[in-house]
Structure 1
Amino acid sequence: MLVLGFDMTILNVALPTMAGDLGATTGQQQWMADAYVVVFAALMLPAGLLGDRFGRRAMLITGLGVFLAGSVVGALAGGVPAVVAARCVMGVGGALVMPLALAVLPSLFGEPKDRIKAIGIVSAASALGMPLGPILGGWLLDHFWWGSIFLVNVPMVGIGIAACVFLLPETRDPAAPEVDVISTALAATGLGALIYAIIEAPGRGWGDPLVLAVLAGGAALIAALVVRDRRAARPMLDMGLLRRRPFLLSALAATLVMFVMAGLMFILPGYLQAVLGHDAFGTGLRMLPMMGGLIIAARAGGPVTARFGARATMSAGLVVLAFAALLGSRTTVDSGYGFTALWLSIAGIGFGFAVVPAMDAALAALPADRAGSGSGLLMTVRQTGSALGIALLGSLLAGAYTNRLDTAGLPAAAADTAGDSVVAAHAVAARLGAQRLADSADAAYVHGMSLVLLVIGATALVSALLVGAFLTTEPKRPEAAADVAPAPVDA
C-alpha cells in the first residue's frame, strides 16, 4: 500500500524531466499520468471479484507480480509509448492489490479492535506514500535517471510478495458472482475513449471529427454499461445506489476532491520547476504544504463531523477549497513560492475537511446487504475522478498555454516544439538564446494555471451549495466499520 501511495504522486514531479528527456508534449504527459489511473479505475471491481472466487492471496501475489513487471518495463523504457504501456501494466497490478490488501485483513485479525487497527495501519501506509512520493521522486531525479522512479518499486514489491507467500493464509468466497467480462470491457474502453478525446482535443480542436467520434463512442459505451448493469441480477457496478441522495451527493463530493487533487498534482510540478526554477527534489518538498494541510484536516475531520455533522463539514471544506483555488488564481510570474505555499496549505485543509465526512456519509448511506458493492462503486468513481481531473484540467492548461505563447519570429519547427510544453519552450529558448520566448512561456503557463484554478474554485462552490442544500445524512450503521474498509488514500 505504501508503494501504491508513492505511485499516485511520484510520477508528477518527474514529468518535467521526462518531457525534456523524451520530448513529451503536454498531451503525452497527461497520458503517462492518466494511463495508470484509467486502468486502475476500470479494473478495480473485477479484480476484487477475482480474489473472492480464485483466492485472495493468489490474486494479491499475482497483482504484486504484475505491478513489479510494469515497474521494470517503466524503468527501462526508451520512449513515451513504452512509459504509457508500463503505466497501464502497473494499473492492472494496482487494481488487484488495492481491494485485496484490505480484503485479506479479516482473515488475519478476528477481533474487531485488532481489525480496525490493522486497517488504520494499512491506510496510513498509503496516505504516507502520497506526500513522500514527490520528495522521493525528486531525490531520485537529482541523483539518477528518471527511470529510477519506477525501479524504486522493485525491492518493496519483492518484500510484499515474499510476505504474502509465507505469512498470508488463503481465503476465498465461492458464492461471489462471476466476473462480468463484457461489463469490464465496456467500462475500460468507454472510460479510455472519453479520456483520449479530452486529452487530444486541445491539439486537434474540439470540433475535430476524430475527437467528436471518440467522445460519442465513449459515451455510448458507458451508457451500454449502465443499461447492462441495470438489467443484471447481480451487477458489477450497482448503479441503483446512485438513487440514494446521501450516497450520490457524498460520492460526488469525494470524487470532486480526487478530480481537483489529481489536476493540481499534474499542473504544479511544471510551475515549480519550469517557472520558479526549482530542481526536482526542491519541487517535491515545496508540494508538502498541500499534503500537510490535507493530513491535519483529515485527522481533525472525524471529531469536527461528530460535532457539526457531515453536511456542514463537507460544505465548509468545499468553501475553503474554493477560496484557496480563487486565491491561487491570482498567482503571477513574480509571485514567488511564499504565496504558493499559502494557498496550497489552505487547499489541503479544504481537501481534508471535504473528503473525510464525504466518505463517511457515503458509506453510512449504504444498506447492510450492499456494503461491498457500494464501497466498490465509490472507489471506482473516485479513481475515475482522478483520471478526469488530469485529462480535463490538463487539457484546459494545454489549450490556454498554446494560445497565449508568443512564438513570433521563431522558425516553424522551433515554434511547434515550444508549444508542446513549458519545459520544451525553455529548452528551445536556451538553444536559441531567446529569453523573450522563456518569459512568454512562463507567463503563458501561469495564465493557464490561473484558469484551471478558477474552474476548480467555481466547481467547489457549486458543489458546496449542492451539498448544503440537498444532502441529508442517514444514521451510521454500527456494523459499517467492520463491513467496509475505508478508502486508503483518504486516511
Structure 2
Amino acid sequence: MTTPPPSPRRWWGLGALVISVLVISLDGTIINVALPTLSQELGASTTQLQWISGGYLLTFAAVMLPVGVLGDRFGHRRLLLAGIAVFGAASAAGVLADDPGPVIAVRALMGVGAAMIMPLTMAILPRMFPKEELDKAVGTWTAAASIGMPVGPLVGGWLLNHFWWGSVFVFNLPVAVAALVAVAVLLPADPAAARRAGAGRAPAFDGPGALLGALGITGLVYGSVLVPEDGWGSVKVLGTLGAGVLLLVALVFRERRAASPLVDLGLLGDRTFRWGTVVATFVNFCVMGILFVVPQYLGSVLGNSAFGTGLRLLPLIGGLVVGAQLAEALVPRLGPRAVIPLGLLVLAGATLLGARSTVADGYAFAALWLALTGAGFGLAIVPSTSMVLGSLPEEGAGAGSSLLETLQQVGGVLGVAGLGSLLSSGYLDRISTGGLPDEAARAARSSVTGANAVAARLDDPGLLASAHTAFVHGSNLVLTACGAVAVVAALLAAAFVPPKSAFPVKSAFPVKPTGKERGGKREREEKQHA
C-alpha cells in the first residue's frame, strides 16, 4: 500500500506544531527567574517555590504516557487542541492567582496541558511528512522544543524588568490562542478510525496501567527533585525512588498481559525504536545537566542578569540549528549509524573543553564550547528522533512518541538530580567558610548565589573568590561527567544503531515488524512499501 501524497500545506502545519511546542519549552524555564519575585511578593516559602517549579515537572512527566494512547484512539489533532486549551486556561488562572497555593495548582495544571501537547505534536509529524522530508521536519520541531529552555530565562527576565510577576502567565495567552487557531486550520484531520473511536467505539482504556505508570513516574521524578535538598542517602529519597521503580516494574508485568495495553512493550523489541530512544535519553540527560549548570555560571560567577544570562545562551541555540541542518544533509549520505556517534562525540568534546574552564576565563571561551555543544546536540538528536518516529506503526504513533518523550523526560530529571548532586559535592569540597558566623557559613555553603550575597553583605572578597572557584570546580566535574556519558552513548550508537540500509527510503512509515519481532505477543500484518 502506498502512502498518500503529502499535503501542500504540510510546512504551514509544521508552523502550527512549532508554535504549540515552543510555548511549552519556554514555560519550562521562564518561571525560574520569577521565583525570587514570587517569594517576595506572595510570601512563598522555599518549599512552596520548589513545588511551583517541580509541580509542573511532576504532572508533565506523569500524564504523558497515557496521552499518546488516547491520541491514537480519539485523534491526535482533537487531543492536541484540548491540551492547548488546558494550557491556556491554566495560564489565565495564573494571572488571577494571589497566593502560592493557587500558583502551585496552576503550574500543575499547565503541566497536564504540556504533557498533552508535546508527544502529540511529535506523533503528527510522520503523518504529515514523507520519509525523505521527515529529518527536516524533526529538526525544526527539535529546535522549537529546545530553544525555549535557554531562551525562557531571557524572556522571563525581560518581562519581570518591565511588568509584574503575572506577566509570565500573560505571555502564554496570545501564543496559546495563536496555536489553537493554527492547529485547527492547518493540521490535517484525524484519521477516520480515530474519529470513530471518538464516537464511542474505542477499545477499553487501560486505567490501572495508566495509574501504575503515573504513580511510578511520579515516584522517580519526585525522588529526583528531593535529591539536591536531602541527598542520595536520604530515606525519603531512596524510599520514593524505590517505590517508583517497583510501580514501573508492576506496570511492565501488567502490560505484558493486558488486552489493550497502555505501553506497547513490543516497541522496545524493535531495534530502531529501542536504540533511537536510548540515544535520545542519553542526550537529554547530558543537555539538561548542562542547562542546569551553565545559567548559574553565567549569572552567579560572571555576574550577568537573568536577561543577560539568557542572551549569552544564544550560541547554544545557534549551534543546535547548525547541527540540525548538518544532520539533515549527512544522514541520507552516511546513515544514522555514522551521524549519531559523530554528534555525540562533538557533544563530548565540547563538554570536555568546557570542563577546562577557570574563574579567569571570560564569556568568549564559554560561547565557543556552548556553540559546539549545540552542534553536537543537533547532530545526535535529530536522526535519533527521526529513527524513532520512522519506526512507529501509523496507528500507534501517539503511544510510541509518548513513550519516547516520557523516557527523555525521566532522563532529563535524573540528569539534573545526579549532575546537580555532583555540582553540589564539588562546590562544598572547595569552598572555604572558615571564620564566618554559623548562619553566614550555612548560607554561603548552600549555593554560589548565597555565597555572593554573604560576601556582598560582609564585604569579603576572599569568600567571593573561594565560592566562584568552588563553583567552577563543581561545574567542571559535571561537564566531565556529561562528556563521559556522551562517549558511552557514542559507542553504543556505533555498535547498535541500525545501518543506513535498514531504513525505508520511500514510505513515510517502515514495514511493521511481525508479532514475533515485536516481542511475540501479537501477530501483526506487514505494511508493504511503495
Q: Identify whether the pair has TM-score above 0.5, normalized to the shorter chain.
A: yes
Pick which of 445-454 and 238-247 moved more: 238-247
User: Deviation at 1:264?
Assistant: 1.6
1:141 aligned to 135, 154, 160, which one? 160
Deviations 1:228-281 (A, max 9, x none): 112223321122222333322221111111222222222221111111011222
Structure 1 residue 322: Cα displacement: 0.7
> Which residue does the alignment assign to 1:489?
none
**Contact map agreement 1:262 1:390 (CA 8 A) in 2:** yes
Flag the 1:375–1:479 CA change in 2: closer, same or farther, 3 A.
Answer: farther
Deviation larger for 313-322 or 148-157: 148-157
The answer for the alignment partner of 1:258 in structure 2 is 284
| Letter paired with 2:506 | P
Letter of the 1:97 partner, please give it: I
> How far apart in 1 are the matches of 2:302 and 2:62?
36
Kept in 2: contact 1:314–1:357 (CA 8 A): yes
Please report how far the alpha carbon of residue 58 of structure 1 lies from its aligned counterpart in structure 2 after TM superposition.
5.4
Aligned-residue offset at 1:325: 0.8
SS at match of 1:50: helix
Cα distance in 2, alignment partners of residues 201 and 439 from structure 1: 27
Structure 1 equivalent of residue 248 of structure 2? 222
1:339 is the counterpart of 2:365: yes
Q: What is the CA–CA distance in structure 2 between the aligned matches of 1:448 and 1:28, rounded to whole Å?
A: 27
- Give, as a single letter, the amino acid of the residue that structure 2 aligns with 1:155: P
CA contact (8 A) 2:29 2:148 kept: no
- Within a 5 Å distance, the mapping from 1:283-432 to structure 2 comes to 283-366=309-392, 371-432=397-458
Q: Which residue of 2 aligns with 1:480?
A: 508
Match of 2:116 in 1: 96
Counting only pairs closer than 5 Å after superposition, residues 11-410 of structure 1 correspond to structure 2 as 12=29, 15=32, 18-19=35-36, 22=39, 33-53=53-73, 59-72=79-92, 74=94, 84-101=104-121, 123=141, 126=145, 129=148, 132-161=151-180, 171=190, 172-174=195-197, 176-366=202-392, 371-410=397-436
Q: Matched residues, percent identical?
A: 45
Change (3 A) 1:288 1:169: closer
Per the alignment, do residues 3 and 397 of structure 1 end up closer, same or farther by CA in structure 2, a change over 3 Å counting?
A: farther
Q: CA RMSD in A?
A: 3.6
Aligned-partner residue type, residue 297 of structure 1: G
Query: Partners in 2 of 1:2 and 1:72 — Cα distance?
Result: 18
**Partner residue, 2:516:** none
- Normalising by structure 1, we get a TM-score of 0.84
Name the CA distance, whole Å, in 2 between partners of 1:244 and 1:214: 31
Q: Please report the TM-score for the alignment, with normalisation by the length of structure 2.
A: 0.79
| Contact persistence 2:212–2:250 (CA under 8 A) | yes
- Offset of 1:287 from its aligned partner? 0.4
* 1:104-152 C-alpha deviation (Å, 9 max, x unpaired): 7899x8x979x97996798375566556434323322332345433321
State whether residues 202 and 396 of structure 1, in contact with CA within 8 Å, keep that contact through their aligned partners in structure 2.
no
Measure the CA separation in 2 of the matches of 1:448 and 1:27.
25
Contact kept, 8 Å, 2:209 with 2:262, in 1: the verdict is yes
Deviation at 1:93, TM superposition (A): 0.5
**1:46-99 Cα shifts (integer Å, max 9, x gaps):** 223434555656544432232124334555667776655433221100122234
Cα drift, residue 25 of structure 1? 10
- For 2:419 and 2:165, the matched residues in 1 are separated by 25
Asked whether the 8 Å contact 1:14–1:141 carries over to 2, the reply is no
User: Which whole-Å deviations, capped at 9, do the CAs of 1:348-395 have from their partners, x for residues lacking one?
Assistant: 111111112212233344456755533332232222222222232223
Cα shift readout 1:143-192 (whole Å, capped 9, x = no counterpart): 23454333211222134445667888975341544432222222222222
Deviation at 1:207, TM superposition (A): 2.6
Q: Which moved more, 1:386-395 or 1:73-82?
A: 73-82
After TM superposition, give the deviation of residue 435 of structure 1 in Å: 3.1
Which of structures 1 and 2 has the bigger CA Rg? Answer: 2
Deviations 1:197-223 (A, max 9, x none): 233234334332222222211111111
* Bigger mean CA deviation after superposition, 212-221 or 453-462: 212-221
Aligned to 1:488: none
Structure 1 contact 36–87 (Cα < 8 Å) conserved: yes
Number of residues of Structure 1 aligned to a counterpart in Structure 2? 481
Q: Which amino acid aligns with 1:479?
A: S
